[in-house]
Structure 1
Amino acid sequence: MRVKWEKKILFQLQGTRGRVNMEEIMEEQERRDVGGGEGKKNYFNENYKNDIDYVVKIARTLLTPIGIYPLYGNDSVMAQIMARCQTLVVFGLMCFLLVPHFIYTFFDAEDLSRLMKIIAAQIFSLLAIIKFWTMIINKSDLRYCLDELENHWRDVTCEEDRTVMTDSAKIGRLCTIAYLGLSYGGALPYHIVLPLVAERIVKDDNSTQIPLPYPSDYVFFVPEDSPGYEMLFVSQILISSIILSTNCGVYSLIAIYVMHACCLFQVVQRQLQSIFEYSKTIDELTRRLSVIVDNHTAAIRYAQRIEKALNVVFLSEMVGCTVIICFLEFGVLKDWEDRKMIGVMTYAVLMTSIFVNVFIFSFTGDRLKEQSEKVGEYSYSLEWYDLPKNLAADLMFIMIRASRPSTLTAGKVFDLSLQGFCEVVKTSAAYLNFLRAMVN
């Protein structure tokens, strides 16, 4: 009955043009159904598996081996036991590296300037542990976000929406690759090259050995002789690689989540912009508006879930990275004074990677807020004043809700934005001046 009624409406709309070809009307109806996209099932994303793999491949590759990928394992008892054992082993390895390192730093280190340089690595590792346990504690929320992401790619309703989602995914992937390159490009020289070019340690028998990447004080044993020392050297490099993979994998997952939330708001904007394009009847307009409201609500809910699961990570990153940048800047200046160019380049690359990390957080948070605000702008730019009162009132609800944009906060303290990035840069410079005055 509905199809016949729509045909009748089309016939009436085109009645002034003379005799109407019914085949052309049916073709026009099919074009509207497919082109409109919202709520229609005619379109099917045949490449959704490849799209999902493109989006999550880096994060899945980095986080699955350490057992904290949200979709890793299943709900069976044996799988849960295996996952918990895996996470405990990984956490034990992190503690095996960091606890002796802390003991050495705060009880055995004599050179204050060297203490200032290595403390940045300790804070970086602590941030990795915070992210590690955040992924475990909030696994249900993070799994929900990843499941929703896969559902959105599978159930995308038109090619235009898929294009919007693909563009956002490319931005997230670009941010991830940039950070990965800088992180591994700076961390590997720090763990391998710097110990090789550093001053040798003179033992009691006047023999020398290469210093460990992480100077440590193992209370219960002293691995100074071969091959135990070489095994410890390699194990520290491997464990530090696990810590680095944890940081990079979580960064990648955050970029994926936030950029996907941005694209959900962009999809709503596109649907608002084309709402009158094929809607010829009030019922059709009402149906499309209801779909837009549902999509807008889903985008807001998705952003809120990200904020709930990761706001502690955002706070620790913004505060921790400010301190790390300060100590790395000190390392650059100290090695420049000592004419150690390899150290200068290594610390400079590490400092750049932390800057990029803070910028990515700030950029994605700022972009999410911007895209959620634009929904209200697109709603207001429509010819809502020519609509029936009930539809105009419905559209006004979208404007009102968009006036309170979705944001990411650092522990509910402040919003992530580009202004926050500038504050991190200024604060780290202020800390550096204080640190230099204290050392000198």
Structure 2
Amino acid sequence: MYNFTLEKVQDQRDLDLAVKVLSWNKWLMSTLGLWPLQSNDLIFSISFGYFSLLMILEYLDFFLCIGDLERVIMNLTENMGFSQIFVRMSMLWLYNDEIGEVITEAIKDFDEINYKTAEEIKAFVNYYAKSMIFFKLMMGFVAITASLYYFTPVLVILENGGLPEIVTNENVTQIIYLLPYRFHLFYAIENIRTYTITYIWQLPFVFISAFGQSTADCIMVTLVFHICGQMSVLALRINNIDTEVRDCGPEMRHVIFMHVRLLRMGKIIGKAFSATLLAHLLGATALVCILGYQILTNLNKDDDAGVLVPLLIKFLLYKFLVLLVLYAHCIVGENLLTESAKVCEAFYNCRWYDMSKNNAQMLILCMARSQRPLCLIAGKFTMFCLSTLTDVLKTSMGYLSVLRSFL
């Protein structure tokens, strides 16, 4: 009895540790006013309005330099990433209530009484361990990349002995004041005071873009892994249905209810993040190509190493972040497909021939529905799975080869 109680306490501790991931997501989403259970329209309006305004300036710079391919590529290096963040924040706001509904349902699954065996808890908690790893990696690399992107001009100035870059063309000397982003400015920067003020008012963009990038990805990965964990528990329960008792109807009804609940949660998540996944699929394909070109171009330059090193590190970290998020989206999609297949297989392996006629008929309906697996679909075009990762990399490398030949 004593050992049994200790096991129960340990199981609840494991669940309490796992639920911390949702607490981390709550803190992250609250910074933008997007936590569904306690949303703040004022915070979101200010942050999203500021971000949208600077996005317009970014697009304006793109259209003004449309005739210069090098400048266009420099703009797209930022533009493609910021456009994805814009879509992420928009979709989180648009489907805020639906995501909140899924979170409310997910919170119910962290009570030890909902599980029959320690094996079920272990299967569920293992997916939250993966969520923790992704959350930590995501926040770490987003913080480093966003900070380095913003402070690269400062590092370049420090390498020049604390002086801005000076360029001489046709006996005309010009001082270049480097800024972290390519936002179009309606005024000229001619002195250090104007430069400092401009540099400072772009600082909030670092935090909003970093939180906007990581918020949608972290909550999506967390909730999809939650569904995967519950699907794994469901497969175990189907396999453990006792058909030797006179009537296993209550057990069958519980399994069906659990399956329907997970299908509903999966459908909501798929709908809420469909546009986000499509934007990321297109953006990641372009960014892997463009960042690869930027890295190769900087490696071939003969400029001062003190200037090139910060740029190379910035582009390398940026590219790694893009690949990390792409891999995370593909791996959660693959896990969702795998767990759906396990549930389908569990239904087919069930001893239907030992069941009553009514239970066997219910099982047939479950078999039919489980043949359509839960999956993450990018804008109703393609599924996210591991093959998507290889497809994106092959396409990006093909575009990179064309881009290098063209330029």
With normalisation by structure 1, the TM-score equals: 0.80
Following TM superposition, by how much is the alpha carbon of 1:236 offset from its aligned partner in structure 2, in angstroms?
A: 1.9
CA contact (8 A) 1:268 1:296 kept: yes
Counterpart of 1:309 in structure 2 is 272
Counterpart of 2:385 in structure 1 is 417
CA contact (8 A) 2:57 2:183 kept: yes
Aligned partner of residue 227 in structure 1, secondary structure: helix
Within the alignment, does 1:366 sit opposite 2:334 as a pair?
Answer: yes
Relative to structure 1, is the Cα distance of residues 202 and 148 closer, same or farther in structure 2, using a 3 angstrom cutoff? same
Counterpart of 1:157 in structure 2 is 115
Report 1:292-307 matches (<5 A): 292-307=255-270
Aligned partner of residue 401 in structure 1, secondary structure: helix
Sequence identity (%): 19
Following TM superposition, by how much is the alpha carbon of 1:299 offset from its aligned partner in structure 2, in angstroms?
A: 0.9
Which letter maps to 1:356?
L
My pick for the range that moved more, 196-205 or 164-173, is 196-205
Counterpart of 2:185 in structure 1 is 218
Within the alignment, does 1:287 sit opposite 2:254 as a pair?
Answer: no
Q: Whole-Å Cα distance in 1 between the matches of residues 9 and 348 of structure 2?
A: 29
Which letter maps to 1:245?
F
Within the alignment, does 1:178 sit opposite 2:137 as a pair?
Answer: yes
Which letter maps to 1:183?
V
Residue-by-residue CA offset, 1:126-166 (whole Å, 9 max, x unaligned): 11111111111111111111111112224623453333221
Within the alignment, does 1:241 sit opposite 2:200 as a pair?
Answer: no
Relative to structure 1, is the Cα distance of residues 338 and 237 closer, same or farther in structure 2, using a 3 angstrom cutoff? farther
Counterpart of 1:272 in structure 2 is 238
Within the alignment, does 1:187 sit opposite 2:146 as a pair?
Answer: yes
Which letter maps to 1:238?
P
Q: Tell me which of 45, 56, 61 is aligned to 1:104.
A: 61
Structure 1 residue runs of 5 or longer lacking an equivalent are 1-26, 35-41, 74-82
Q: Whole-Å Cα distance in 1 between the matches of residues 405 and 33 of structure 2?
A: 44
Q: Tell me which of 36, 40, 43 is aligned to 1:70.
A: 36
Relative to structure 1, is the Cα distance of residues 65 and 183 closer, same or farther in structure 2, using a 3 angstrom cutoff? closer
Report 1:39-438 matches (<5 A): 50-51=16-17, 53-73=19-39, 83-108=40-65, 112-154=69-111, 156-158=114-116, 160=118, 161-194=120-153, 196-197=155-156, 200-202=164-166, 208=175, 210-219=177-186, 221-276=187-242, 281-283=245-247, 285-338=248-301, 340-438=308-406
Counterpart of 2:305 in structure 1 is none
Which letter maps to 2:284?
C
Task: Compute the RMSD of aligned alpha carbons.
Answer: 2.9
CA contact (8 A) 1:369 1:405 kept: yes
Following TM superposition, by how much is the alpha carbon of 1:237 offset from its aligned partner in structure 2, in angstroms?
A: 3.3
Q: Whole-Å Cα distance in 2 between the matches of residues 151 and 85 of structure 1?
A: 29
Relative to structure 1, is the Cα distance of residues 352 and 203 closer, same or farther in structure 2, using a 3 angstrom cutoff? closer
Aligned partner of residue 404 in structure 1, secondary structure: coil
Following TM superposition, by how much is the alpha carbon of 1:44 offset from its aligned partner in structure 2, in angstroms?
A: 12
Q: Whole-Å Cα distance in 1 between the matches of residues 41 and 14 of structure 2?
A: 31
Residue-by-residue CA offset, 1:211-264 (whole Å, 9 max, x unaligned): 000133322x44543434213213323312211211111110010111111112
Aligned partner of residue 214 in structure 1, secondary structure: coil
CA contact (8 A) 2:19 2:110 kept: no
Following TM superposition, by how much is the alpha carbon of 1:69 offset from its aligned partner in structure 2, in angstroms?
A: 1.9
Q: Whole-Å Cα distance in 1 between the matches of residues 138 and 211 of structure 2?
A: 12
Residue-by-residue CA offset, 1:283-310 (whole Å, 9 max, x unaligned): 3x22111111111111111101111111
Between structure 1 and structure 2, the one with the greater Rg is: 1
Aligned residues: 388
Structure 2 residue runs of 5 or longer lacking an equivalent are 303-307
Q: Whole-Å Cα distance in 2 between the matches of residues 121 and 91 of structure 1?
A: 17
Following TM superposition, by how much is the alpha carbon of 1:51 offset from its aligned partner in structure 2, in angstroms?
A: 4.5
With normalisation by structure 2, the TM-score equals: 0.86
Q: Whole-Å Cα distance in 1 between the matches of residues 29 and 190 of structure 2?
A: 34
CA contact (8 A) 1:268 1:375 kept: yes
CA contact (8 A) 1:153 1:162 kept: no
Following TM superposition, by how much is the alpha carbon of 1:206 offset from its aligned partner in structure 2, in angstroms?
A: 5.9
Following TM superposition, by how much is the alpha carbon of 1:209 offset from its aligned partner in structure 2, in angstroms?
A: 5.7
My pick for the range that moved more, 204-213 or 112-121, is 204-213
Q: Whole-Å Cα distance in 1 between the matches of residues 152 and 13 of structure 2?
A: 44
